[in-house]
Amino acid sequence: MKESKPCIYDPNFLPTNIYSGVPSFLNLSVVEKKEELKDLDVAILGVPWEGGCTIGGYSSCTDGPKAIRSASIRYTGYLPDFDLDCFDVLKAGDYGDCAVQNGNYDFTFEQICKCYGDIVDAGAVPIVFGGDHGIAYPLISEMAKRHPKRVGVLHFDAHLDNYSHFGDDELSRCSPFYRLYNDPNMDPTKIVHIGIRGPRNHKEERQNAKKYGATVIPCMEVKKNGWEAAIKKAIAVASKDTDVMYVTICADSLDAAFMPQGPQDMCGLTSFELMMMVHEAGLAGASSLDFVEIYPDTLTLQPAAHVGCWAALYFLNGVAEHRLKAGK
């Protein structure tokens, strides 16, 4: 695998394809063998999966990884906000998509665990693009197998996603955190739900959070006290007596004005608030991120895909700064 770094303003630019017609994320080198992961600090993984659709029908979130990769080739790792290019510190590659099979949770979740486990075991930071939020369960539970009871979670969302079931479906996007609450390797008191709001929550979900001891930071609290206070509180909970902090972001943590190609939830976070909090998570030592639930076929400008790129880059900038300060 050749070493690569994203660039812009290059008249000779040609995309590196992850598969036919789709560029790799940020035009990074494609990782074709898991043995190559050991040479990386960061690895991208796509999960083009949709399970039970809680809004009825089909949401197009399976196109998320493709849309995010396609949007990403206009970006580099440099953020003038912090005067740092994360790829001056971090070597990254794109591990492609894990295998999925429509309607088959067992096969798909097994493949998610396998591919994600490859990245974790190689010592790289996984950046995962979904797909629906049901994938948070196999991803986080796979990390927890390696750090029993010592994984902290920062969950950005409009919804708690801890409902016990969706009809007969216990693995849908509305239930991953209920599964994690009951995972023998997880401590639910180390899970923080941030940005929760609105009428698409069920009363049982708030009761479940209280029952299992998870922390809830409603969006109203973020707005009243400010994003800095909110993320400081969240990190304090998720980092206490843990080895790993995992960041999981549903697109609808953002207000509908900032996420026109996702679930339409009002009264939410601004893109600035989300990026700053995600950056702080990286700076605090978080070592895994997923971004899920965009519906990229609604408009032509693909704003949701661009938000996914920005979230990953602000997180990685924080990770890079953390490593620089730690002298790694």
Q: What is the CATH number of the domain that holds 71?
A: 3.40.800.10
Q: How many domains does the chain have?
A: 1
> What domain range is 257 assigned to?
17-326
Domain for residue 95, yes or no?
yes
Domain for residue 11, yes or no?
no
Ordered per-residue pLDDT tens for the chain, 328 residues = 766 788 877 777 778 888 778 999 999 999 999 999 999 999 999 999 988 666 666 678 899 999 999 999 999 999 999 999 999 999 999 999 999 998 899 999 999 999 999 999 999 999 999 999 999 999 999 999 999 999 999 999 999 999 887 667 777 777 899 999 999 999 999 999 999 999 888 899 999 999 999 999 999 999 999 999 999 999 999 999 999 999 999 999 999 999 988 888 899 999 999 999 999 999 999 999 999 999 887 556 677 888 999 999 999 999 999 999 998 6
**Which residue from 14, 31, 36, 32 is spatially nearest to 23, judged by alpha carbons?**
14
Number of C-beta neighbours around residue 209 at 10 A = 21
Give the pair of three-digit tokens for residue 246.
């995992």
Domain for residue 161, yes or no?
yes
Give the pair of three-digit tokens for residue 318.
């924080």
Domain for residue 88, yes or no?
yes
C-alpha dihedral, 51 to 53 to 54 to 56, nearest 10°: -160
Domain for residue 122, yes or no?
yes
Taking the C-alpha atoms of residue 139 and residue 246, their distance in angstroms, rounded to an integer, is: 10
Q: Angle 229-231-233 (CA atoms, 0-180°, nearest 5)?
A: 70
Contacts (Cβ under 8 Å, ≥6 apart) of 184: 148
Domain for residue 4, yes or no?
no
Burial 175-193 (b: 16+ CB within 10 A, else e): bbbbbbbebebbbbbbbbb
